[in-house]
Structures are given as structure tokens and as C-alpha cells.
Structure 1
């Protein structure tokens, strides 16, 4: 099950991937209390992991709050390439909004997630997709029993019929072009859950996204 919570000044999407075994938080841009009040059945104790597509403030503005609320053994995943952005308000773009946010959370590199089984149901494939930031990644989840369509959480790499900016610090249009080429090469269809805006699917983007054509 996927729950979508758009929030913040840029309406970033926080996702909760869940089943009876617990929750995975994707891009913690919504606070713990608001999440709990919005989802009556939500239990902080059942969060098994927090993962981040990249380290811009609008996608992780509550990451330290989640770290404080969760058990110490709950892992937080982020590409090592984006770790420097956590402690630099210019790089994580919070300074641009007058917030000057720096984050102290300790993270595991996303390489530790690759091929791992989460919630005893979802296998994760990590795609390194630099372009929006140097450490941007996409997370592909597939059910071990094929009970649901494969899912891809793309952060600010892919939007519905568009892509993320490449003119921000550590961004690169050339790398973004290579990342889009990698995603286009994937076999099969995926539901795509981007960092902003509406959801879509890979087959549709191959037909309608001008950056895919």
C-alpha cells in the first residue's frame, strides 16, 4: 500500500510504503505528529526504514525529527554523494528559502539497500540517477510474490512529463541525460511516484515525456 502526503512550501511528496509488517518512509518532508494525526492507524513503532531520494531540504526537512522519534536501529538511507548537502544550507537549498537548515542525522549509503528485502515483501533495487543532485537515486520496489506492480520512487529525477532541474549545486544536465537513458532501458512497467506532483507510470513517460523521446 502507498500513502502519499504532499507537504511544505514546495509541496514535496512524502510516501509511506506499508503492509502488515510495518512502514517505510520515503523522503521525510512531513513531521511525525502531522503524519500520526493524518493517518489514524499509523504507528511510529512500526517504521522499519527511512529512505531519501536526495538531500534537498524540501524532501528531508523533518529527517532529524524522525530520527529522534524512531528506535536507534531503524536505518536511514541516503547516497554518500549527497551526505555533504545535509550540513550545508546552500547545497541543500534551505538557505534559498531563508531557513538555513543543517541536518545531523547519520545515514547509511544506499548501496546497503540494493537487493534487500523490506517488510518481508518488497525487494529494492537502487538506481544511481545523478543529475538533479550528484547523489540522486531512484528506488525500485517489487513484490517477492508479484502481488503488485513494480514501483519506482524517483524524487526530483523524473516528474510526470518532465524532469528535475539540473542547474542547482552538484546538478548536471549531462548526468541527468544518462540517468534518463538508464531508466528508459528498464524492462517492464513501473508505477512512478515522483518528488512533486502526480504519479504516473514508466510506459506512459516513454510516450509523453519530452525528455524520454
Structure 2
């Protein structure tokens, strides 16, 4: 759960949530109203498109959902209870985002969206515990539920600020989406390269941290 994360892992979760929001904002504009990280929204779009017999749009929604699940599968396959595979999963996200940026520029939005959805699926496994995802970093309905529950509990004398971490996660996604929308309005599909840079920076930071920790443990 978010409230049980260490300060370092919380920072990783917030950074991933912001990246997810950014890419979702870019993807929403690129795909004309479909999502690369919010599969509940895509499920609704799929259902509506099917009811309207719009096979092309339904195919897009289905492709995004399948790509997201495949990303979760890839991240889970890399996750190991015996060692920290954060760097590996972040590298997958970086490569997927870079590939999406490449094909988006060649007018292949479905392929770009699917690659982004794949990366966002993998992102949800970065903080997996014992290979099980404790919470999602790309969708915030559950976080808002926790905010509401936490506020009521604090008013009843419980943990006063326990809900604030969930609010922070929601704010990270929201602000990331604002940045993604603004970047897309000026850079178009090239805005995805900004997301690629952020993902690469997170990967590098995780690699450096792991090396430092390994050296500290070496006698």
C-alpha cells in the first residue's frame, strides 16, 4: 500500500504516476480520446464503440487493453522476489516509450498508443511486492477512494494525514496529464520524446542507486 512505502519508493511511485499522467495526456490527444494508462476508460470506450458497431474504434480500444495486459505480463515476468529488478522494468518502459515516439512521427498512432499502453502496463509492476501489484501507479480511482476513506478516519480520531500520500499520487497523475496536454499542443507527437527522456532519467537514477547500494554492502 502507498502509506507503507519508504520515502525512496514513494518518490519512485510519484515519479511514475507523473510520467503515466504525462503519457496519458499525450496519448489521449494522439489517439483522439483513448487512453494509454486508464484501462477503465478504454473498457467503456470499447463497449460504446461495439454498441455503435464502430469496429475500427473498438479495435483501437481492444488493442490498447491487450497491450496494457501484455505490459503487465512482461513486468511481472521480470519481477523477482530474490532481487531488485526495478532498473530492468524501467528500461522496458523507456524502450517502449522511445519506440512509440518513433512510430508516432510516421503517422502510426495505433502502434504508438499500443506501445505506450505496453509501457504503462509494465509501470504498474515496478513496485510489486512478492510479484503481486499492491497498487496501481497509472490509475487513480482507488487512490481517490483511499483519500475519502482516510479523511473520514482522520475526523474520527485516526491517522490525521494517512490519506495525503494517496492525494499526492492523484495530484502527480493530474499534473503530469496537464504537462502532457501542454506539450502535445506545441510539440505534437514529439512530446513523447520528453516522456522518453523522463523514463530514461528514472532508469539511470535507479541504476546509480542500485550500484551505490551494492557497493555499500560490499565488505
The TM-score normalised by the length of structure 1 is 0.29
Question: Greater relative contact order: 1 or 2 (C-alpha under 8 angstroms, separation 6 or more)?
Answer: 2
Normalised to the residue count of structure 2, the TM-score between the two structures is: 0.29
Structure (1 or 2) with the larger CA radius of gyration:
2
Q: Which has the higher strand share?
A: 1
Greater helix fraction, Structure 1 or Structure 2: 2
